[in-house]
Amino acid sequence: MLEKGTAYNSRTVSTKRMASKHDKTSKGHELDIDRYRVRQEPYYAETGGEIGLFTIASKSKMPVMLKGPTGCGKTRFVQYMAWKLGRPLITVACHEDLTASDLVGRYLLKGNETVWVDGPLTLGVKHGALVYLDEVVEARKDTTVIIHPLSDDRRMLPIEKKGQVVEAVDDFMLVISYNPGYQSVLKDLKQSTKQRFMAIEFTYPPPAIEMQVIEKEAGVNKETAQKLVKLGEKVRNLRNHGLEEGVSTRLLIYAGQLIGKGILPARACEAAVARPITDDPDMQRSIAELVKAIF
Ligand SMILES: Nc1ncnc2c1ncn2[C@@H]1O[C@H](COP(=O)(O)OP(=O)(O)O)[C@@H](O)[C@H]1O
Ligand SMILES: [Mg+2]
């Protein structure tokens, strides 16, 4: 299933929407931290001790980096951990136009007055949230200036425009995600950034767990889930033959959902697996062959 963030009542922040009427609370212009609470337990199948590791990191005020390919459970894991630790979750999807001000906050004109509006990072630092910077490498370089003092033992957030420095409350935790597969020399995290984070490596879940995840998330039977896991394994092996990245658990779930709705497996896997991951007709044919052999 697609990002379930909203269903769990945690929210991805759209920095452009920050000051809309919608976000106003009784306090005026502040975003309401309660909106970011994860109220229902998200389904998460542990794959190798990551829950314990993250829990210790959170208690030790250690920032965490989640490394791994797309669609392998990083976002779901953070949602689960926010619920388990009882902390609000503020997710920021980083993009190439995302600046330090988008994270920290800015002055906005309201009628005749200018008002300060906290950005998602400031909100999290003040209220003890888990702040998840998804694909942090995409953000503008000026964001590292604020990430650095926050992610070492100072735990300070400089708010340059206000001439202030805010100290993070104990429950604040910074989490970033990073896909080593996408990085180029031009776009990579600097060692000085990387070496501030404890890293948890994510890969596709092992077969038995991936099967359980597909069964549960796509609502298909064991047999279908098993076949999709098998397909996943075979397709991921094609990486040695020119495929850029293996098929994600997310796509296998999509394929399962289509099959569950009565689409023939060949068609479902074409639409949810072969076409999304490659534009190369030969590669698509190879995947179709795999599907035929498995189903
Ligand atoms: N270990 C897991 N437990 C539960 N669901 C999982 C797990 N791994 C993957 N998923 C499923 O795969 C989907 C994609 O995972 P997601 O967390 O969005 O990936 P990422 O953030 O790594 O790109 C999730 O919505 C969820 O349905
Ligand atoms: Mg994600």
Cβ of 47 less than 6 Å from ligand 1: yes
In angstroms and rounded to an integer, the radius of gyration of the C-alpha atoms of the chain is 21
Cβ of 272 less than 6 Å from ligand 1: no
Q: What is the pTM of this model?
A: 0.89
Q: Taking all residues of the chain, what is their mean pLDDT, rounded to a whole number?
A: 89
State residue 241's pLDDT score: 85
Residue 23 has pLDDT above 50, yes or no: no
CATH superfamily of 11-201: P-loop containing nucleotide triphosphate hydrolases (3.40.50.300)
37 against 141, higher pLDDT: 37
Residue 119 has pLDDT above 60, yes or no: yes
Cβ of 72 less than 6 Å from ligand 1: yes
Give the dihedral sign, CA 35/38/39/43: positive
25 against 190, higher pLDDT: 190
CA pair distance 61, 59, nearest whole angstrom = 5
Q: Find the mean pLDDT for residues 202-230.
A: 97
User: Where are the chain's structural domains?
Assistant: 11-201, 207-294
> Which atom of ligand 1 approaches the CA of 47 most closely?
1
Write phi, then psi, for 90 (nearest 5 degrees): -115, 115
